[in-house]
Structure 1
């Protein structure tokens, strides 16, 4: 079992979720300038995490069924963040606050090890993504994401995938056709 699934099962077993939220398409879970120290489990639907720079949106991550998502910078430093989290379709999430999460995470060495494994994997994914954006062609970026996350192409609209891959929607469309 992968560490994320195992961790979620442990949280579910302890019944630690504070509440459940339902979001309509395009609703915001978090907006810029707000501190958000919650972690969310996506029950169904999909979300994107993005920033706006000079009126241009840059998608950083996606979350869909069985993913944990957070405004990680705000979660870690408890400061307002420039990140937005937006539902891309009708979405349901469970919420756990930081205090309860930290208490659970530190309640056993196994929980700490699993969480550390999840964070290490997240850092490695982010490093791979940065390297891809800096050094890979659009076709290479597309192929790598298709191999790593084929579900993404079923869950997420092409314009947001293109933003994530740092290409225009037209370039993504051409690559998909070839």
Structure 2
């Protein structure tokens, strides 16, 4: 729980008594390699905090997987549009490696936000960070070259090169596996 507290305090300071109301709602869960946390069509009911492992969210269209994001400690994970809007998920959330997470039931968290301005502000700050990240990623995919996207990826997540299948990394970067392999050989010593 300490890693979750440290993570949340970096986002926005929340009094200890308010965090103490949040922590009992969290439950530790484990998932195996290639196990789904959420499948497309399911309604996401939980937000997750990653303690260990790497997860991937992806969209499936015409039999092809399109990787949207990777999550790893310390970060939040889930399918936000499903959890927040309580709608069937358009995406899959799968564990690439065995994973240990803290699970927070969103309905209970939402109720808690009604009585805690400090936690509500924390939730807003978290949502702002996610929105900014999505817009940055969208800009990269639309406006940056393959090489620029690859270099940015190497700055952000070099540890993923040895932990994630390269086909997923290529999909995430919006390129085919052949181009990914060429860039890997050119840019990584």
Query: TM-score, normalised to structure 1's length?
Result: 0.86
Does residue 6 of the first structure (1) align with residue 8 of the second (2)? yes
User: Per-residue deviation at 1:142?
Assistant: 1.1
Residue 171 of structure 2 corresponds to residue 169 of structure 1: no
State the distance in 1 between where 2:114 and 2:157 align.
Answer: 31
Mean CA deviation greater in 154-163 or 80-89: 154-163
Q: Deviations over 1:44-75 (max 9, x none)?
A: 11110111011110111111122111111111
Q: Of the two, which has the highest radius of gyration?
A: 2
> SS of the residue aligned with 1:16?
helix
Structure 2: gaps spanning 5 or more residues: none
- CA deviation string 1:118-150 (max 9, x = no partner): 211211111111111112111111112222334
Maintained 8 Å contact 1:37/1:71:
no
Tell me, in whole angstroms, the C-alpha distance in 2 between the residues paired with 1:36 and 1:59.
Answer: 18
Partners of 2:6 and 2:174 in 1: how far apart? 27
For residues 13-41 of structure 1, the C-alpha deviation after alignment (integer angstroms, 9 at most, x for no partner) is: 54234432221111111111110120011
Deviation sequence 1:96-137 (CA, Å, 0-9, x none): 101222234444333222221221121111111111111211
Unpaired stretches in structure 1, ≥5 consecutive residues: none
Q: TM-score, normalised by structure 2?
A: 0.82
Aligned length: 176
Q: Give the structure 2 partner of residue 44 of structure 1.
A: 52
- CA shift at 1:156, angstroms? 2.8
Match of 2:24 among 16, 19, 23: 16
Shift in alpha-carbon separation, 1:121–1:18, aligned structure 2, 3 A: closer
Aligned to 1:138: 146
8 Å CA contact 1:51, 1:82 repeated in 2: yes
